[in-house]
Amino acid sequence: MTAPDPVRIESAANPLLKELRRLLRDPGAYRRTGRVWVEGDHLCRAALQRGVRPAAALFAASCWAAQQGQWAGVAARTMVVDDALWPALSTLESPAPMGFVIDLPPAPLPQAGAATVVLDRVQDAGNVGSILRSAAAFGFGQVLALKGTAALWSPKVLRAGMGAHFGLRLVEGASAADVAALGVPAVATSSHQGQWLHAARLPHPCAWLMGHEGQGVGDELQALAAAHIRIAQPGGEESLNVAAAAAICLHASAAQALNSSG
C-alpha cells in the first residue's frame, strides 16, 4: 500500500501548529489535549522501536526533501512544514527538523509487585527525565509520581528521558496509599541516616523513594520505608543531586539482583 502524500503546511495559523506551540509553552498541556510533541530523530526512533504509532509526523521542508525515503508511512499522517515556520515548534537553540505527535497512552494504574521508582515532589524536569532514563536502564519498569513532581510528559522531561518514557509504566498523581499498596519494600534515600548503600542488602523488587531536591523524601513516605539508605561520599560533599543519587541506587539494586540470580 502506497503511503499518502504529505500535507504541506505554509501558515502559522494552522490549527495543529497552534496546538504544538501550546504544548511547548505549557508543560502540563498534554493532560488537556491527550497528545504529546516528541522532537528529534532519537526520540522518534525510540518511540517506533517500542511499537508506538504516531498520530502525525512533522518535518521541516528541507528535512523531508533529504530524508523522506526513510520516514514515509511511519505515521497515520505526514506533514511538511515550511522551514520558516519550524523554529516556533521547538524550544531548542538548534531545533531538530522533525518530530512526532503521539497520543498520550491511557493512564495506567499502579502495578503491585513491580520494581518501582517513586518520585516525591521532584521538581526539576531535567532531574525527572534523567531518573526515568536510569529506571529504564536498570530494570525498574514502573514510576509513580506524586503531586508536585514535574509533569512526566512535558517537553523538557521527554528530552531528558531520551526515549525511556516509551518503555516505562508511568503513573502520575500517585499517593502514599498507592505506594503502600505496591506490596514491595519501600527504600528511602537519605543524606544523613540509614545504612550505607555499599554495605546494605537491598530487597528486590522494591520501591525506591526519591525526594524533593531540597527537602528530600516527605514524612508520609518516610513512614512507609522498610529501610533508609545513604551513599558514601568520601569527597566530603554535603549531598548528591537526586538524579545522580537515583542512578547510583538503582544500579546497586540491579547489580545485587543479578548477582543473586547468578
Could you please report the per-residue DSSP string of 153-219? TSHHHHHHHTTGGGGSEEEEEE-HHHHHTT-S-EEEE-SSSSEEGGG----SS-EEEEEBTTTBS-H
- Please report the pLDDT score of residue 4 as a whole number: 72
Partnered with residue 98 across adjacent β-strands are: 59
Cell numbers 546497586: residue: 252
- pLDDT above 80: residue 261: no
What CA–CA distance (Å, rounded) separates 87 from 95?
6
Report yes or no: 115 and 184 within 8 Å, Cβ to Cβ.
yes
Angle, CA of 158, 162 and 163, to the nearest 5°: 85
DSSP state of 116: E
pLDDT digits (tens, 9 = 90+) for 24-40: 999 999 999 999 999 99
- Domains defined along the chain, listed by start: 7-103 (3.30.1330.30), 116-261 (3.40.1280.10)
The residue among 85, 107, 109 whose CA lies nearest residue 97 is 85
What CA–CA distance (Å, rounded) separates 166 from 158?
10
pLDDT digits (tens, 9 = 90+) for 180-236: 999 999 999 887 788 999 999 999 999 999 999 888 899 999 999 999 999 988 887
Report yes or no: 222 and 188 within 8 Å, Cβ to Cβ.
yes
pLDDT digits (tens, 9 = 90+) for 115-131: 999 999 999 999 999 99
- Please report the pLDDT score of residue 234 as a whole number: 83
Averaged pLDDT of the chain: 93
Partnered with residue 59 across adjacent β-strands are: 80, 98
pTM: 0.93
pLDDT digits (tens, 9 = 90+) for 57-69: 999 999 999 998 8
pLDDT digits (tens, 9 = 90+) for 221-231: 999 999 999 99
